[in-house]
Structure 1
Amino acid sequence: MSDHVTVIAEAGVNHNGSLDTALALVAAAADAGADIVKFQTFKADALAAASAPKAVYQARETGSAQSQLEMLRALELPYAHHHELARACEAADIEFLSTAFDAESLAFLVGEMGIARIKIPSGELTNAPLVLAAARSGLPVIVSTGMATLGDVEAALGVIAFGMIGGNEAPSRAAFEAAYASEQGRAALAGNVTVLHCTTDYPTPPDAVNMRAMATMGRAFGVRTGYSDHTAGLAVPVLAVGLGASLIEKHFTLDRSMPGPDHTASLEPDDLARMVAMIREAQAALGSPVKAPGSAERANIVVARKSLVAAQPIGAGDLFTEQNLGVKRPGDGRTPMDFWRVLGTSATRAYAPDEAVE
């Protein structure tokens, strides 16, 4: 069996500000078999200026009359709701997680909610103060890399390495680079960081996924890799598992027709369950890197393979020739790989047609 692939069901802001909807999302994620259900924690006024425009997909889904800041205010998840969601997660045996988009929210999630890991979203990859605070938490860190170059990811990992290994040096680009290059820093990254390949486009067309970049990051940085998916279907996250993803994140909703920025690029509960089942099947199919027959195959060797047999009556002392030496099932006799070794030798006894040659 391959290592377990962690599945994060990304509820995000698909609760539309409703606690009842958020609780229903927890139940749906647990029923689907996901390992983690993840929300988003932010203070809208700390996240966006009044002048910040909406993304194209946000304007498409929610209209342009409302500003991004106004949209975010309507989607804030109150701190009190976090506690109720965490209790629901505990009862449903699924891990509660939320992504912080500002320093206050991160401190709340780590200090008061006691989350088990930190997720840095793609948009915060270059937010060095927030990334550093995440690294200093002592928790494992998941990093999404949508919109990023390889250099952007390396720079963020330098900040994380610096935060994880501590020290008295003041934060600076030079200090981050030194931490990233150090043996201690690289060990901290390898043991505590998962980097997610991601394309920030909702929904992402398959030809924009560029999945090979996931392996590129794994080779470049020596960290675990995964995939945060924004495609419309199920095939791409399963492909990611086949290519070595240790973690899959996927948006889901109760109903894709609900109003809001992310619903149309999300899976509904039945498809989320289907995706989890497909991931588990892919995970099981990966198996071992050793090429050898499994236990089920070994039982079929005798039936499917062949042995050397007499193609016609052969007398004791007769020479084996291409005319009197044949190859037939079952495969419980001498391997046909010895065909040419046997040719020209003398039979030590008589053989009837189809009798296995020793």
Structure 2
Amino acid sequence: PVFVIAEIGINHNGDITIAKKLIAAAKVAGADAVKFQKRFTGEILTKEGRNAPYDSPNAFAPTYGEHRDKLEFGEKEYRELKQFAEGEGILFFASVWDRKSVDFMDTIGVDAYKIPSADTTNLQLLDYVSRRGKPILISTGMSTEDEIDVAVSTVLKHTDKIILFHCLSLYPSPEEKINLRFMDVLKSRYSPLTVGYSGHEPDLLPTIAAVSRGAFIVERHFTLDKKMRGSDHAASLNPSELQELVAVIRRIEKILGAPERIMYDELKPLREKLAKSVATKVTIPAGAIITEDMLTVKGPGNGIAPSYMHTLIGRVAYTEIPEDSLVPKEALLWPRA
């Protein structure tokens, strides 16, 4: 089945109660996993970057560094959230934005890591994570093909447990720029690695299309309310939308079926009624040699299939076959002249 990740990310707004509500809602909606984001501001931003004024309507503090810190949980909160997720029966993991966050999530005991699009070229981080030997999910929303090549080769030095996500890091993503056909490039270029889709579009259709194109794992940002303060809420799915997405994905799985032609029992009576068989144009006497001009094709379809007509030519009729009737199936065994 397609694996569905509800990315809570920072949509908890630094509130553990909201975080728990999001986990519970993701489980109800049918998601397989919830994903948070972990970063240590001092590890990812210079002093200048941390102290930069942040006057966005979505700001939680006056400087960018303080804003980021407001959206972070500590070890106590993350242990509580992981335990809560396990109680709900849903997988818990996180995107890691720096090496200290990798160690932190190791301490929490996650089973996988996500590398955000912004860090696909951060080879030091990729090398550090890959040495853990756990599955690594890599988003490609800001990278060139050459950069993806280098990222994959860096991780492959230590593990082949890689999932590549086609992604466009625009919030929200304009549909004419999503370019789902690049998934085919990822699948062929990096086979046999698993390819998924991480979407930031305002609706469900691109994600649904990605599943139809063969995405084995999909990720969507998830919020309780798109109007909440915060940079990611507007481009996230609310609980009813996530539930609808999961339901449609499960339908698509049934529709896609298996890569084989299956002749279902229900088709047999319809085939007999509507298909055609080899029939006679004229009465064929017993002992006559069957020729092509004696035969035609008519329904019902429970006789000799038309594709076998040529095998009847030159055979000797064992019994008389009346005009305008089906040639009996045993005619395929009659001797040739």
Aligned CA distance change for structure 1 residues 202 and 139 (closer, same or farther; 3 Å): same
Aligned CA distance change for structure 1 residues 288 and 83 (closer, same or farther; 3 Å): same
Moved over 6 A (4+): 58-61, 343-346
Partner letter of residue 85 of structure 1?
Answer: L
In the other structure, the counterpart of 1:237 is: 207
| CA positional deviation for 1:66 | 4.8
TM-score, normalised to structure 2's length?
0.85
| CA positional deviation for 1:226 | 0.9
In the other structure, the counterpart of 1:46 is: 43
In the other structure, the counterpart of 1:85 is: 81
User: Of 11, 17, 21, which aligns to 2:18?
Assistant: 21
1:62 alignment partner, SS class: coil
| CA positional deviation for 1:141 | 0.9
User: Of 230, 233, 245, which aligns to 1:263?
Assistant: 233
For 1:243 and 1:296, how far apart are their aligned partners in 2? 29
In the other structure, the counterpart of 2:299 is: 329
Partner letter of residue 190 of structure 2?
Answer: F
Greater RCO (CA < 8 Å, at least 6 residues apart): 1
User: Of 179, 183, 189, which aligns to 1:220?
Assistant: 189
Identity between Structure 1 and Structure 2 (%): 33
Which runs of no fewer than 5 residues in structure 1 stay unpaired?
165-187
| CA positional deviation for 1:229 | 1.0
| CA positional deviation for 1:207 | 1.3
| CA positional deviation for 1:84 | 1.5
For 2:75 and 2:167, how far apart are their aligned partners in 1? 28
For 1:116 and 1:127, how far apart are their aligned partners in 2? 21
For 1:204 and 1:295, how far apart are their aligned partners in 2? 45
Question: Once structures 1 and 2 are overlaid, which stretch shifts more, 343-352 or 117-126?
Answer: 343-352
Aligned CA distance change for structure 1 residues 117 and 299 (closer, same or farther; 3 Å): farther
In the other structure, the counterpart of 2:152 is: 157
Partner letter of residue 92 of structure 1?
Answer: E
Aligned CA distance change for structure 1 residues 65 and 8 (closer, same or farther; 3 Å): closer
For 1:206 and 1:130, how far apart are their aligned partners in 2? 31
Which runs of no fewer than 5 residues in structure 2 stay unpaired?
329-337
TM-score, normalised to structure 1's length?
0.81
| CA positional deviation for 1:37 | 0.6
Question: Once structures 1 and 2 are overlaid, which stretch shifts more, 282-291 or 61-70?
Answer: 61-70
Aligned CA distance change for structure 1 residues 337 and 7 (closer, same or farther; 3 Å): same
- Computing the radius of gyration from Cα coordinates, the structure with the larger value is 2
CA contact 2:39–2:98 (8 Å) conserved in 1: yes
**Residues 124-139 of structure 1 correspond to what in structure 2 (within 5 A)?**
124-139=119-134
| CA positional deviation for 1:250 | 0.9
Deviations 1:167-215 (A, max 9, x none): xxxxxxxxxxxxxxxxxxxxx42xx111111111011112111112222
In the other structure, the counterpart of 2:325 is: 355
Question: Once structures 1 and 2 are overlaid, which stretch shifts more, 270-279 or 213-222?
Answer: 213-222
Quick check: 1:75 aligned with 2:45? no
User: Of 128, 134, 141, which aligns to 1:146?
Assistant: 141
User: What's the RMSD between the two structures over aligned residues?
Assistant: 2.8
For 1:148 and 1:299, how far apart are their aligned partners in 2? 55
